[in-house]
Structure formats: C-alpha cells, structure tokens
C-alpha cells in the first residue's frame, strides 16, 4: 500500500463519516473506528518500504510528492495509533453531545492531515497539510464554545503567525533552489553558505516552535489543551504538537543536514545550542508551573510543554544517541500523555465534567482500572525504570553527560524530579484519599473508554521491558538522517553505549517482589477497614471531607509562586491589547459616510497631481 | 541471654518480640502524663526496655491511659483502642482509671475503666513514680509470658457486653461495631 | 554461580547491615543523651513484633505500595558496588555488585525513586490527611535535596567521564578518593545526607509529634514491618552510595562496611543534637549551601575538563 492509498483512505474516511452520520449515528461510529483501525494496519504493513512518487505534477509549477521512509513511517504509525485510540475513546465521550457528526469529521480530518504532513515529500504539500491540520484543530479546540472559543482563537492566531513564518521560509527556499522537493533540497542546500540556512531555519523554527509549544511560543497550549474535549486533548498533546518536532527533525536533519547544521549560527553561538538551551528552559519552567495547577488537564498541558523540552533538548544536541532518545521520547510521550489525558477524560466523563483536583479524590475505589492505567502512564512520564519513559530519558541523559553538557543534564534531571511531584499530585488528588460521598456509587468507565487506556499502558510496560522493539526502528531512522545508527539489543544497550539491561532489571525486581510477598505471607492477612476508620486522634474521621488536597505543595507554592507567573503570556496579551487599540484607531477612518470617502479620493488625487508636477514621480 | 531465653524465642518468637518491643500509645488524659516525659527521656530511659512512644494507635501494642477518664475522653479511648492492631495490651496508670481516684464522686468521670475496655495491668498511685512504670512493664512481661495479658481476646469474646457498657455511658455510638454482635442473645441465654 | 550468590548476598547484606545500623543509631543517640539505650538488635525484635500483629488495610494499593518500596530499594542495592576491587576486565565479578553490567549510576538514581514513590502511593491510599501532608513534605524534601544531589552526581560523572558506578569506584581505587578530586561535591553530599536519610534536622516527613508520623500514620503490623525494612535498606543504600562516590568504595566488604560505619556515625552525631526544621527552611538550606557548593564544584570540573 502506497502513501497515496493511505492518505486517500484517511481523507475519504473523514468525509464519509460525516456523510454516514447524516443517516445513522451507530453506522458513523462503527465506520470511524474501522477507518482508524484500517489506517493503523495499512501503515503497519508498509514498514520498511521506501518510496517516493509524484502524485500531482505541476501544481503552480511545482511537483507535489509523497514519500514513505523510516522517519515518516515512525511518525505515521504513532499518529494513527493515538488517533485510533482517541476515536475509540470518543464513542462514549461525545455520545449525546451536540454536533457529533462534525466532531468525528474534524477528528478524522486532523488525523488525516497529520498523516499527510508526515508522508509529504515536498514542502509545499507539507505546508498545505499543515494548514488543514491547524484549522481542523481549531474547530475541535473550540468545540465546547465559551472559554474554549477564546482558547481556540489564541491557538489559531499563533498558528497563523507560525504559518506565515513557514511560508516565508518556503518562498526563500524556492527562490534560491527552484524546487521544494525535500530530497532535491537536501542535495542542493549542501553548497549553501553564510546566513542563508540560518534565516531559513529561524523562520521554520518559529512555525514549528509555535506548534510544539517551545518557550517562549507556548502560550496557546495550556488554554487549548484544557479546553478541548478530552479525546482531542490526547491527540493534541500526544501527536499534534509532535508535528512541530517532526518539522524540526525534518528541516534540521532531513533538509539542512547534520554537517551544515553544526555550522549554522555565529561561531560562538550555534543554532542548535540555542535550541538546546531553549529546550532546557522549556523543561524547567513549565514543570514548576505544572506543580501549582489545580485543573487536571491544565496540569497535564503544562507537563506536555515540559516534556517537549526534553525532546527539543535531545534534538538540539545533535548526536545519534540524542536523536534516538528524542524520537523514542516522542513516541513515549505520545503514548503516556494520551493515556493520562484519556484517564482524566474518563474521570471527567463519569463525574459530570469535574476536573478540579480539589473536588475529586478516592476514585481508586470506583475506577480501579482507570487508576492502574493512569499510574502506569504517570510512572512512564516520570521515567521510572521498567517503563518506556525510562529508556528514552536514559538515552537523553546519557548523551548529555557524555557530550559534556552537565548543566543541560541538570535541567533535564531536575525536570524529572519536578515531574514526580505533579504526577503524584494528579494521581493523589484524583484517585487516592477519601472518596467524596457524592461519588460513592460512581460506576467504572465503559469498556470503550478503558480499552485505549489499557492498550497505552501495555505499550508503556512492553517498551519499557523490551526497548529493543522500538529502538530497532529508531536506530534505522537515525542512520538515515546522517548519524551513526544506534545499535540496541532487545533489552537495552551493550557495554559500548552504556550498561543498561532492562530485562535483568525486570527479573531482579520480580524476584525480589516474590520474596517479599512470600515473606509478607507469614503474617496474618490484614483486616480491610473503611475509609472512615482512619486515625484522627481518637475522634471519628469526618466522612468525605477528611482529605488534604488544596494547595498540595503549599510551602513550595509560597516560595516560588511569585516567580512562576506566565510572563510571556502576559506580554503577548498586552501586545494584543495594544494592537487592538491601534487597529481600533485605524478603523475610525472608515466613517461609513460617502462624503468622507470622496474627500479621501480627492485628497489622494491632489497629492498625486502635486507629486507629479513637483517631479517626484 | 541465657539458654532459657533462647528456647523461648524459638518456641514463640511473636510473644517474645511483643514483650521486648512494647511500642506505647500514651493516652494523655490527665495529670498522669506529667510522669511520662521523665520515663521516656534521659532520666529513666524507657527505651532500654524496648518501650518507645509511637504516634498513632496503628503502630503500637501498648496502650497506656495516664490519668482520669472523663466521659468525653472515653469515646476517644475506645476508638483508639479499637484502632490498635491485635495483640495489644492496656495499662491504666494512676488511681483514677482504677476506681475514680479523687474524682470518685464526679458526675463526669468514668470510675472503672475496665468496664469499657479490657485492662491488662494497673499501676496504682497518685501519682505513680516513673519507677512504678518499669515495675508495671516487667510485670506485664510476666503476664505476657504466662499468657495472662489477654485483654484483646477478652474484648473480642465479650464484645457485646463491652459495647453495651460503652453505649450506656456514651449513648448511641457513631461507629459500627468492631466485631459482629450476632451472638448477643446466645450469650444471654448461656 | 558467583553471580547468583551475589544476587542473593547483596540485598541480604543490605537488610542485615541496614537493620543493625538502625539499632546502632538508637544506641548512639541514647549514649549521646547519656541513656543506656536499647540493645543493638532492637529493630529486629520490633520487626518480628510487627509481623506478628494483625494490621489493617485501606485497599490493595495501601498494601502493595509498601511492597514496591521495599522491592525497589532492594533491587537498587544490586546495582551498587559493595566493596571489592575491579580486576582488569571491565565488568568483572571481583566487585560485589551483581547487576553492574545492567545499569549504571543513572539507573541507580532512578531506582532510588521507587522507594519513596511506592510509599507515597501506599500512604496516599490510606485516606488520612496526615499521610498526605507527610507525602507532600517528603516529595518537596526530595525536590529540595535532589537539586544538590543531582549536581553532585553530575560533577562526579563529568569528572570521571563515565556513568558506570563500578568504573567510578575503580578509578578512585587507582587515583585517589573522590573526596579529594571533587571535594566540594563531597561536602555538599554530606550536607544533604540527613535530608536523604530523613533524620534530624530533616525528619519533618515522619514527624510523629506534628503529623502522626506522616506517611506511616495508618500503617501497622506487617506493612509497618516492611516499611521498617525499607527504611533500613534505604539507610544502607544512601550511605553505601556516598562511600562509593567519595570514599573509593572498599577493597573488600569489610573495609567498605567500616567506611560506611564512619560516615554513619558522623550523620548520627548530627541527628542526635539538632532539632527539626520547617520544610521551607529545608528547601532554602538545600538550595543554598549544598547546591551552591555542588554548583561551584561542577563549574570547576567542567572548566578543567574543557580547558
């Protein structure tokens, strides 16, 4: 199956699901799932193929090209997987809400457009698909109206800015090389010198940076992620912002190439070094902001920015291990962040839209499966050993340390320890502690909501114990991008890269666990007690209120809260406010009175005649 | 440790460990608690007996009620006692919990603590000196050895009676019974 | 075969030595207070006593969290070299470190997470606000001491240019202790040792008088016994790591344990005389002095490497 077939399936699926929805809701749901699963299968069977062909010759004098290579396949399978899971999750989530047809259409369209982005072989079709994705995403972000509309507007305005920057870069490239096909560009750009690659990359970096929420271009993300419907938040955080990452990798390593990249920028300040440091800042600040959030989805949104920092940092280091770590972390982040957003979505769905962390608690007793999956996702996010997040973070740290960037490594590690705090806060405030009385009879989420969670959890653990499976693919990709390929064994790395053997770790852990459980078995089985029977200095614990959640990290909040306001967002907002004032002023010249306009014309004519007679023109 | 000790350890490690690791929940009801700081600090050093204070009833096995018990406190005492894991030993400290002491005619004081929870040992006096606590502890060791410190078993067996006593003093209790009271009528018939 | 013996031996050593160190700690403090103190094997009695009590359970995570904590810390021990010299080949079994070829210092750092995290999850499930406050303090304290600790680790790793702990130990045995090559890091690490061990002045996590021993508020019986064992293993782990990073490990197990004992005594001296600090002050302290020293050392290391 070629790339063309995949794209036709994806786009036709989006359109048809809308058409089918007009006849029957049930049919549309089944069709949407079939299309998403079909896409996963179609992409899976194209593994290892490399193809490039023109699908629309001579569009505005340019050939539009589709191609399938290792990098494209890797991102395509991630996109289709997460897309498929979010469609399955949506079944119950949007059932009974308004504009279901539109929702499915937009969701499938976003997924199709993202597939288009990763499969396009020239930058023009890349740009076209990019725009389709941006606009479809806007429709979905503002699906809930109200505050969501503001969030969507913020997103789309920043997106347009980014797109303009990208378009500039495209025109610049086209003017110089007369082609936008990636493989041709990569051939020709090698001879480029001076500031040219820098300007192209800066323009691209603006576009991609906005999409992947690199600080200081991140301000759309917390609003958009928290206001979007939860299944789409999973797509948004899991894969949509990864399109920015894909763009960075494509332009930096696919187009500009490693050799040129290392020289871009001033001799004392390279482009990729700046990217590294931006990545480090993007890890640190959002992590500490995430600690202080009370809205579950907003917390996860800030955490997404933080995790993007890891990926950017690893891309910027420009080593084979770093890039492998970045790609692996991209996959991992897609999986565990999708899982966490979907888990929060399940809670939100069952509790009637509550995602305020101070009003939940104790849900482990009612939704154990959701909790178990969220726990695995949270552990993966932290990077606890035996989850896939550990291996990718290990790769990133390893490359930072051996390349001699201990300060960057420090930022990455501190970010991880911050991640523990917000993950624990999220899990604790939602699932642990006392169950409020109003949720005492809550039912577990329906199976169609639990299934995506379980799949994600399974992937995290599987890739954590056997990281060789994804790393064999990633190692190949790194090889195609001009690096030494990373050779990983099935269970980790040999001594030449660094000692890591996750299977041994897993076996040791399992063994010790068994011994402890056996040892524990000597003692009497504990007696289960109700949550009210807890120590309250002899008094009866008040039911449903005896829970510590509000300002969970109060001492830190008092210490750092003052420094952690989103200055960038405030700056943008004030700039937007100022611009609004200026444009309002400009608008005044349109009085709506014909006589004023006649006066303008006469004035202009007078000016022209005057200018002509004076000899200026 | 002599040979006698070692055989005892091998025979019933749990019992011996309970003897030498009495983690005490001090229920500071009245003036008696004033004697406890010297007991656990440098002057008399209860830790050499293995007796140390713990913060919550879940962690302890020795329940020490130091002073008079008002009706209001009784509720907390019962609650704390029930939250302690079995086996557990109760020691009442001072004369007030034994028979009311100087509050023998107070309307608001519980006169006989052992009507409401089982008490394994008494340390009489007003106030008992810290040395008396150690005498009490060593005496408790003997009781544990002879399996006479079995208040927790008594409590389980006669829970219905204890519960009714508690309800008589406190009115309706706002927590469910610790053990099922299904054989109340049976016991009465016996 | 030696591998299997080592696999069994090293967690066992950690447990036994850790429990005895706990007992020793009580004895030392008692002697500093001019008390007689309990026998050194008192924690063993305590653990047996707790195992013989019937505890309560607030849910499966409440029980399992503790198991994970203990398992995590025991597995971590297997990654730490406990004395022995490295023969010429890179991953010899001359060192008592059964899983040295399966992960280095980065793995150790992450595995040390499992303990607190397991305990935090278990305590969170206990539906007791004291436990939640304790966990909140624990995580904040972890964030506070991890910043200098990470700086220390990074300085050591940059200095020896490796992420393998056995190699760091081997390099020290050839070329002098880490305490001499990265002295400021060693000082910083020693300053945060009480925080990592959770002893005074940083015992605010399990403060019995304030928050009813924090995360352990609802634990009793066998779960508390496991927590006790986890505490012992964690104590062993932290001090062993310090000895490995800065005091050159040990030529054999005996010298290793001797060095551990000396470090432990020094920590206990601090433990015995200082009062408890507030969590804010703990964060401020950790981010000021140890972090400053460690940062200085890291800058020196990086500059000397690049120069």
Q: How confident is the model at residue A194 (pLDDT cuts 50, 70, 90)?
A: low
Q: Which of B21, B53, B58 sits opposite C45 (nearest CB)?
A: B21
The nearest alpha carbon in chain C to A291 belongs to C140
Total number of domains constituting chain C: 1
Separation of alpha carbons C48 and C50, rounded Å: 5
pLDDT for residue C92 is more than 70 = no
Looking at the complex, report in whole angstroms how far the Cα of residue C258 sits from the nearest Cα belonging to chain A: 27
Provide mean pLDDT across the span B9-14: 79
Q: Is A586 part of any domain?
A: yes
The pLDDT, as a whole number, for residue A605 is 92
pLDDT for residue A602 is more than 90 = yes
pLDDT for residue C15 is more than 60 = yes
Q: List, for residues A527-542, the tens digit of each pLDDT value.
A: 888 777 888 777 777 7
The pLDDT, as a whole number, for residue B1 is 59
Q: List, for residues B26-71, the tens digit of each pLDDT value.
A: 888 778 788 888 888 888 888 888 888 888 888 888 898 888 888 8
Cis peptide before A358 (omega within 30 of 0): no
The nearest alpha carbon in chain C to B43 belongs to C35
Q: How confident is the model at residue C88 (pLDDT cuts 50, 70, 90)?
A: very low
Q: Do A540 and B57 touch (CB under 8 A)?
A: no
Which tokens hold the place of C70? 């203990």
Nearest to C217 by CA among C208, C225, C226: C208
Separation of alpha carbons B75 and B169, rounded Å: 9
Report yes or no: A542 at the B interface, CB cutoff 8 Å: no
Asked whether C114 and A385 are in contact (CB, 8 A), the reply is yes
Q: How confident is the model at residue C307 (pLDDT cuts 50, 70, 90)?
A: low
CA Rg value for chain C? 19
Q: Is A610 part of any domain?
A: yes
Chain A residues 367-406 with a CB less than 8 Å from chain C = 375, 379, 382-385, 390, 394, 397-398, 401-402, 404, 406
Supply the range of the domain harboring residue A608.
568-614
Q: Do C208 and B53 touch (CB under 8 A)?
A: yes
The pLDDT, as a whole number, for residue A257 is 76
* Window from A134-143, A534-543, B144-153, C39-48 with minimum mean pLDDT: A534-543
pLDDT for residue C94 is more than 70 = no
Looking at the complex, report in whole angstroms how far the Cα of residue C139 sits from the nearest Cα belonging to chain A: 6
Separation of alpha carbons C49 and B61, rounded Å: 9
Asked whether C113 and A382 are in contact (CB, 8 A), the reply is yes
Q: List, for residues C174-230, the tens digit of each pLDDT value.
A: 888 877 888 888 899 999 999 988 888 888 888 888 888 888 888 888 888 999 999
Sequence ranges of the domains in chain B: 21-189
Q: List, for residues A68-100, the tens digit of each pLDDT value.
A: 888 888 888 898 888 888 888 888 888 777 777
Q: List, for residues C117-143, the tens digit of each pLDDT value.
A: 888 898 888 878 888 888 888 888 988
Report ipTM for this prediction.
0.90
Mean pLDDT of chain A: 84
Separation of alpha carbons A95 and A100, rounded Å: 7
pLDDT over 70 for what percent of chain A?
A: 99
Asked whether C185 and C241 are in contact (CB, 8 A), the reply is no
Q: Which of C103, C121, C278 sits opposite A505 (nearest CB)?
A: C103
pLDDT for residue B188 is more than 70 = no
Provide mean pLDDT across the span C52-60: 85
Give me the count of residues in chain A: 617
The nearest alpha carbon in chain C to A513 belongs to C71
Chain C residues 124-163 with a CB less than 8 Å from chain A = 124-130, 132-133, 135-137, 139-140, 142-143, 146-147, 150-151, 154-155, 157-158, 161, 163
The pLDDT, as a whole number, for residue C91 is 43
Nearest to C124 by CA among A442, A375, A344: A375
φ, ψ at A492 (rounded to 5°): 145, -135
Nearest to C132 by CA among A361, A363, A341, A303: A361
Q: List, for residues A196-215, the tens digit of each pLDDT value.
A: 778 888 888 888 888 888 88
Report yes or no: C210 at the B interface, CB cutoff 8 Å: no
Q: How confident is the model at residue A601 (pLDDT cuts 50, 70, 90)?
A: very high
Total number of domains constituting chain A: 1
The pLDDT, as a whole number, for residue A606 is 92
φ/ψ bin of C71: left (φ > 0), alpha (ψ from -120 to 50), beta (otherwise): alpha
pLDDT for residue A492 is more than 80 = no
Which tokens hold the place of A415? 């970010």
- For B72-137, give the DSSP string: HHHHHHHHHHHHSPBS-EEEEESSHHHH-GGGTT-TTEES-GGGTS---EEE-SSSPPHHHHHHHH
Separation of alpha carbons A500 and A517, rounded Å: 27
Report yes or no: C208 at the B interface, CB cutoff 8 Å: yes
Which residues of B have a CB under 8 Å from any CB of A? Answer: 27, 56-58, 75-77, 79-80, 83, 174-175
- For A222-270, give the DSSP string: HHHHHHS-HHHHHHIIIIITHHHHHHHHIIIIIII-HHHHTT-EETTEE
* Window from A479-488, B20-29, B78-87, B174-183 with minimum mean pLDDT: B174-183
For tokens 């406890």, the residue is B36
Q: Could you tell me which residues are beta bridge partners of residue B184?
A: none
Which tokens hold the place of A443? 């039912």
The pLDDT, as a whole number, for residue B189 is 46
Provide mean pLDDT across the span B4-19: 81
**B21-189 fold:** Rossmann fold (3.40.50)
CA Rg value for chain A? 26
The pLDDT, as a whole number, for residue A432 is 85
Asked whether B29 and B66 are in contact (CB, 8 A), the reply is yes
Q: How confident is the model at residue C1 (pLDDT cuts 50, 70, 90)?
A: low
Instruction: Determine the 3-state secondary structure of C58 from DSSP.
Output: coil
Q: Is A572 part of any domain?
A: yes
Q: Which of the other chains make 3 or more beta carbon contacts under 8 angstroms with chain C?
A: A, B
pLDDT over 70 for what percent of chain C?
A: 96
Looking at the complex, report in whole angstroms how far the Cα of residue A373 sits from the nearest Cα belonging to chain C: 13
Chain B residues within 8 A of A538 when measuring between CB atoms: 27, 75-77, 79-80
DSSP state of A528: E
3-state SS, one letter per residue, for A477-504: HHHHCCCCCCCCECCEECCCCCCEEHHH
Q: Are strands A500-501 and C56-57 parallel, antiparallel or unpaired?
A: unpaired
Chain C residues within 8 A of B17 when measuring between CB atoms: 45-46, 48-49, 52
Q: Which of C61, C110, C301 sits opposite A390 (nearest CB)?
A: C110
pLDDT for residue B190 is more than 70 = no
């Amino acid at each position: 199956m070629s790339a063309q077939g995949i794209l036709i399936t994806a786009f036709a699926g989006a359109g048809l699901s809308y058409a089918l929805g007009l006849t029957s809701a049930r049919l549309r749901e089944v069709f949407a799932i079939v299309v998403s699963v079909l896409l996963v299968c179609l992409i899976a069977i194209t593994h290892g193929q490399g193809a490039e062909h023109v699908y629309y010759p001579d569009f505005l004098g340019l050939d539009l090209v589709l191609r399938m290579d290792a990098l494209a396949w890797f991102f395509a399978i991630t996109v289709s997987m997460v897309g498929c899971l979010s469609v399955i999750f949506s079944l119950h989530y949007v059932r009974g809400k308004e504009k279901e047809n539109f929702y499915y259409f937009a969701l499938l369209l976003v997924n199709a457009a993202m597939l288009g982005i990763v499969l396009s072989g020239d930058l023009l079709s890349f740009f076209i698909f990019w725009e389709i994705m941006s606009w479809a995403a806007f429709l979905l972000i503002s699906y809930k109206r109200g505050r969501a509309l503001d969030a969507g507007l913020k997103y789309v305005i920043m997106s347009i800015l980014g797109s303009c920057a990208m378009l500039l870069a495209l025109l610049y490239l086209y003017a110089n090389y007369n082609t936008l096909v990636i493989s041709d560009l990569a051939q020709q750009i090698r001879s480029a010198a001076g500031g040219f690659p820098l300007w192209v990359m800066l323009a691209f970096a603006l576009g991609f940076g906005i999409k992947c929420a690199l600080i200081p271009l991140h301000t759309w993300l917390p609003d958009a992620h928290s206001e979007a419907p939860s299944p789409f938040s999973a797509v948004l955080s899991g894969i949509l912002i990864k399109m920015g990452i894909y763009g960075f990798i494509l332009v930096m390593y696919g187009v500009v190439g490693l050799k040129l990249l290392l020289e871009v920028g001033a001799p004392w300040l390279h482009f990729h070094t700046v990217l590294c440091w931006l990545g480090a800042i993007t890890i640190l600040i959002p992590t500490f902001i995430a600690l202080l959030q009370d809205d579950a989805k907003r917390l996860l949104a800030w955490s997404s920015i933080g995790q993007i920092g890891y990926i950017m940092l690893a891309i910027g280091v420009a080593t084979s291990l770093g890039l492998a770590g970045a790609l692996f972390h991209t996959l991992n982040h897609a999986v565990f962040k999708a899982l966490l957003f979907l888990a929060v979505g399940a809670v939100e769905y069952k509790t009637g839209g509550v995602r305020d962390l101070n009003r939940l608690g104790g849900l482990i007793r009612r939704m154990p499966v959701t909790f178990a999956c969220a726990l695995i996702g949270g552990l993966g996010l932290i990077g606890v050993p035996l989850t896939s997040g550990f291996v990718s973070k290990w790769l990133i740290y390893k490359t930072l340390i051996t390349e001699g960037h201990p300060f960057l490594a420090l930022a990455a590690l501190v970010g991880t320890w911050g991640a523990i705090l917000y993950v624990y806060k999220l899990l604790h405030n939602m699932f642990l502690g006392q169950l409020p009385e109003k949720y005492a009879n809550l039912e577990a989420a329906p199976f169609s909501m639990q299934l995506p969670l379980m799949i994600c959890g399974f992937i995290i653990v599987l890739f954590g114990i056997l990281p060789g499976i994804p790393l064999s693919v990633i190692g190949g990709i790194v090889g195609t991008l001009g690096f030494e390929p990373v050779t990983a064994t099935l269970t980790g790395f040999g001594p030449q890269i660094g000692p890591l053997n996750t299977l041994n770790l897993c076996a040791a852990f399992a063994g010790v666990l068994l011994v402890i459980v056996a040892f524990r078995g000597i003692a009497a089985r504990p007696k289960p007690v109700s949550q009210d029977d807890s120590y309250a200095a002899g008094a009866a614990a008040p039911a449903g209120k005896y829970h510590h959640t509000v300002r969970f990290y109060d001492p830190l909040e008092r210490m750092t809260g003052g420094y952690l306001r989103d200055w960038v967002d405030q700056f943008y907002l004030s700039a937007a406010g100022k611009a609004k004032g200026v444009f309002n002023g400009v608008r005044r010249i349109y009085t709506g009175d014909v006589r004023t306009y006649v006066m303008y014309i006469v004035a202009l004519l007078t000016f022209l005649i005057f200018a002509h007679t004076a000899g200026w023109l | 440790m002599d040979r006698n000790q070692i055989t005892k350890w091998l025979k019933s490690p749990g019992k011996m460990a309970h003897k030498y690791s009495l983690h005490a929940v001090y229920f500071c009801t009245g003036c008696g608690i004033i004697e406890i700081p010297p007991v656990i600090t440098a002057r008399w050093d209860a830790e050499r007996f293995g007796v140390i204070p713990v913060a919550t009833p879940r962690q302890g096995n020795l329940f020490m009620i130091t002073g008079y018990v008002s009706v209001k406190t009784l509720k907390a005492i019962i609650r704390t006692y029930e939250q302690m894991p079995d086996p557990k030993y109760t020691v009442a400290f001072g004369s007030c919990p034994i028979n009311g002491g100087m509050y023998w005619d107070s309307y608001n004081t519980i006169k006989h603590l052992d009507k409401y929870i089982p008490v394994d040992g008494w340390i009489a006096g007003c106030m008992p000196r810290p040395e008396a606590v150690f005498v009490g502890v060593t005496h408790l060791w003997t009781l544990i050895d002879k399996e006479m410190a079995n208040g927790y078993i008594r409590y389980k067996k006669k829970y219905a009676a204890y519960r009714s006593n508690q309800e008589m003093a406190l009115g309706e209790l706002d927590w469910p019974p610790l053990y099922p009271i299904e054989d109340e009528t049976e016991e009465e018939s016996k | 075969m030696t591998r299997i013996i080592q696999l069994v031996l090293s967690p066992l050593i950690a447990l036994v030595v850790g429990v005895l160190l706990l007992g020793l700690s009580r004895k030392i403090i008692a002697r500093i207070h001019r008390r007689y103190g309990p026998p050194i094997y008192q924690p063993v009695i305590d653990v047996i006593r707790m195992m013989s009590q019937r505890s309560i359970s607030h849910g499966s995570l409440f029980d399992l969290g503790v198991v994970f904590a203990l398992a995590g810390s025991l597995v971590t021990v297997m990654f730490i070299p406990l004395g022995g010299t490295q023969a010429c080949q890179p991953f010899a079994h001359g060192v008592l470190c059964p899983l040295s070829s399966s992960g280095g210092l980065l793995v150790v750092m992450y595995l040390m997470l499992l303990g607190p995290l397991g305990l935090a999850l278990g305590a969170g499930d206990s539906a007791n606000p004291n436990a939640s406050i304790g966990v909140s303090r624990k995580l904040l304290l972890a964030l506070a001491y991890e910043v200098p600790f990470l700086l220390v680790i990074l300085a050591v790793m940059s200095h020896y240019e490796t992420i393998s702990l056995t190699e760091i130990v081997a390099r020290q045995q050839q070329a002098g202790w880490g305490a001499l090559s990265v002295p400021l890091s060693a000082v910083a690490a020693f300053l945060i040792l009480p925080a990592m061990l959770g002893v005074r002045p940083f015992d605010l996590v399990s403060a019995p008088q304030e928050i009813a021993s924090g995360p352990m508020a609802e634990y009793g019986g066998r779960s508390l016994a496991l927590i006790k064992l986890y505490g012992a293993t964690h104590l062993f782990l932290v001090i062993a790591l310090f000895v490995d990073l800065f005091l050159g490990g040990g030529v054999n197990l005996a010298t290793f344990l001797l060095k551990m004992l000396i470090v432990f005594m020094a920590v206990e001296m601090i433990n015995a005389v200082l009062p408890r600090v507030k969590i804010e002050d703990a964060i401020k302290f950790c981010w000021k002095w140890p972090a400053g020293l460690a940062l200085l050392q890291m800058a020196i290391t990086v500059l000397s490497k690049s120069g």
